[in-house]
Amino acid sequence: MLPAMTASSPSPAAPLIIPCVDIQSGRAVRLYEGDPDRETVYFESPLEAARHWVGLGAGLVHLVDLDAATGRGENRAVIAQIVAELGVPVEVGGGIRDRTGAEALLKSGVDRVVIGTAAVKNPELVAELIAAHGPERVVVSLDARGLEVATHGWAQGSGLQVAELTPRLAEAGLETLIFTDVTRDGTLKGLDRELMREVRRLWTNTLIVGGGVANTDDVRLLAQEGIQGAIVGRAIYEGTLAYPVSL
């Protein structure tokens, strides 16, 4: 017989660590604080980068088309090839600014689209996409300096606070929110616990964070703060956090 479960002792689920492959000029890179001119190239081929993480056990890969996010071009052909050949679900963000763009990716086999700028500038798009495709296929990324949301490849401040946007997103039917601390992204500085706590308070549904994860202390912080996962780049590329993560 199975032992009785006691409601008082749930074991918190281990945070999901999602490897990210940021694509700029056709290569797998990481930027420092999102600055397109401060890139480190980790793999010449983003498909090889994605395969590397899948080979180590990733069940979901986060792809960012940095050129599309910053308005410097796009890497959609590379993304289509990854989606076709990788064999595990991928989520894609960067430059998805309208329904046609989002649906082209969803149709090509992308598991879920990640909407940043358009979620701030055109919140109806999020509601429309969720109504048409379901909340499991649409994620919003709020990328912020402090709690002020940035847009257009993080080059612009929106003047809007996370707290002003989260109620609208909940109303649109959003389930999963990504929050990125732009000031720590690609820096290996570690997560800002107070900021994580505040965002956790503002978004009660599934929360994935990014920006600054450096080592297992950060993964423990996620678990302690009840955050479901993190998008991790530089830490696993550089090996300050061993992937797959075991605590």
Residue closest to ligand AMZ (Cβ): 116
Q: Which two tokens stand for residue 170?
A: 């909940």
Which of 23, 28, 29, 34: binder of ligand AMZ (CB under 6 A)?
34
Does residue 65 carry a catalytic annotation? Answer: no
How many Å apart are CA 121 and CA 63, to the nearest integer? 22
CB 140 within 8 Å of CB 167: no
- Residue 230 parent element (H or E): strand 229-232
Size of the site for ligand AMZ (CB under 6 A): 22
CB of 210 to ligand AMZ, least distance (A): 7
Annotated catalytic residue within 143, 181, 185, 192: 143
- Residue 161 parent element (H or E): strand 156-161
Q: Residue type at 97?
A: R
Cα 50 from chain centroid?
A: 15
Which of 19, 46, 116, 212: binder of ligand AMZ (CB under 6 A)?
116
Told to check if 209 binds ligand AMZ by CB under 6 A, we report: no
Residues in 135-194 that interact with ligand AMZ by CB under 6 A: 141, 143, 151, 153-154, 180
Annotated catalytic residue within 22, 67, 185, 192: 22
Relative to beta strand 61-65, strand 90-93 is parallel
Q: For residue 194, how many other CB atoms are within 10 A of its CB?
A: 8
CB of 98 to ligand AMZ, least distance (A): 10
Query: Residue written as tokens 């002003």?
Result: 164
CB of 154 to ligand AMZ, least distance (A): 4
Told to check if 95 binds ligand AMZ by CB under 6 A, we report: yes
Does residue 143 carry a catalytic annotation? Answer: yes
How many Å apart are CA 234 and CA 211, to the nearest integer? 10
Which parts of this chain interact with ligand AMZ (CB under 6 A)?
22, 31, 34, 64, 66, 69-70, 93-96, 114-118, 141, 143, 151, 153-154, 180
Residues with a catalytic annotation lie at 22, 143
